[in-house]
Amino acid sequence: MDAALARLVERVQAARAGRTALEIRGGGTKAFYGGEPVGEPLDVRELTGISRYEPSELVVAVRAGTPLAELEAALAAQGQCLPFEPPRFGSIDDAGGTVGGMVAAGLAGPARAAVGGVRDYVLGATMLNGKAEVLSFGGQVMKNVAGYDVARLLAGSLGILGVICEVSLKVLPAPVARATLRFEMDQAQAIRDLNAWGGQPLPLNASAWWQSTLAVRLAGARAAVDAACAQLGGERVDDALAAAFWDGLRDQRDEFFTAAHARVAAGAALWRLSLPPTTPPLALAGDVLVEWGGAQRWLVSDEAPQRIRDAAAAAGGHATLWRGGDRRAGAFAPLPPALARIHRELKTAFDPDRVFNPGRLYPDL
- CA-based nearest residue to 346, from 146, 129, 119, 23: 129
Is 332 part of any domain? no
Residues 201 and 285 in one domain: no
φ/ψ (deg, to 5) at 351: -140, 70
Residues 16 and 118 in one domain: yes
Query: How many C-beta atoms surround the C-beta of residue 116 within 10 A?
Result: 14
Q: Do β-strands 22-25 and 40-43 pair in parallel, antiparallel, or remain unpaired?
A: parallel
Is 330 part of any domain? no
Residues 25 and 46 in one domain: yes
What predicted TM-score, i.e. pTM, was given to this entire model? 0.94
Q: What angle do CA 264, 359, 291 make, to 5 degrees?
A: 45
Q: Is 320 helix (H, G, I), strand (E, B) or coil?
A: strand
pLDDT at position 145 is 46
Is 357 part of any domain? no
pLDDT at position 139 is 63
Q: What is the DSSP string of 121-167?
A: GEEEEEEE-TTS-EEEEE-SSTT---S--HHHHTTT-TTSS-EEEEE
Number of helices and strands (H, E) in the chain? 11, 17
Is 142 part of any domain? yes
Residues 22 and 161 in one domain: yes
Residues 160 and 15 in one domain: yes
Residues 156 and 11 in one domain: yes
Is 13 part of any domain? yes
Where is the domain boundary, 223, 250, 277? 250
- 239-265 per-residue burial string, b: 16 or more CB within 10 A, e: under 16: eeebeebbeebbbbbbebbeebbebbe
- pLDDT of the chain, 365 residues: tens digit per residue: 799 999 999 999 999 999 999 999 999 999 999 999 999 999 999 999 999 999 999 999 999 999 999 999 999 999 999 999 999 987 545 567 999 999 999 999 999 999 999 999 999 999 999 999 999 987 654 444 444 578 889 999 999 999 999 999 999 999 999 999 999 999 999 999 999 999 999 999 999 999 999 999 999 999 999 999 999 999 999 999 999 999 999 999 999 999 999 999 999 999 999 999 999 999 999 999 999 999 999 999 999 999 999 999 999 999 999 999 988 888 999 999 999 999 999 999 999 999 999 999 999 99
Is 298 part of any domain? yes
- CA-based nearest residue to 114, from 359, 268, 316, 295: 295
φ/ψ (deg, to 5) at 37: -60, 135
Where is the domain boundary, 231, 250, 269? 250
Residues 105 and 52 in one domain: yes
Residue 80 DSSP one-character state? E
Looking at the structure of the chain, the number of domains it has is 3
Residue 201 structural domain: 177-250
- CA-based nearest residue to 346, from 170, 86, 156: 156
Residues 26 and 162 in one domain: yes
CATH of the domain at 245: 3.30.70
Residues 192 and 295 in one domain: no
- CA-based nearest residue to 32, from 302, 325, 358, 335: 325
Residues 22 and 134 in one domain: yes
- 268-277 per-residue burial string, b: 16 or more CB within 10 A, e: under 16: bbbbbbbbeb
pLDDT at position 95 is 60
pLDDT at position 92 is 47
Is 355 part of any domain? no
Residues 287 and 145 in one domain: no
Q: 114 with 218: CB under 8 angstroms? A: no
Helix, strand, coil shares, percent, the chain, to 5: 35, 25, 40
Q: Given phi > 0 = left and psi -120 to 50 = alpha, else beta, which region is 269?
A: beta
Where is the domain boundary, 203, 226, 250? 250
Angle between helices 239-250 and 255-265 (to 10 degrees): 30
Residues 51 and 146 in one domain: yes
CATH of the domain at 105: 3.30.465.10
Give CA–CA dist 23/28, Å, rounded.
Answer: 11
Give CA–CA dist 185/252, Å, rounded.
Answer: 23
According to DSSP, the residues that pair with 50 across neighbouring strands are: 62
Is 163 part of any domain? yes
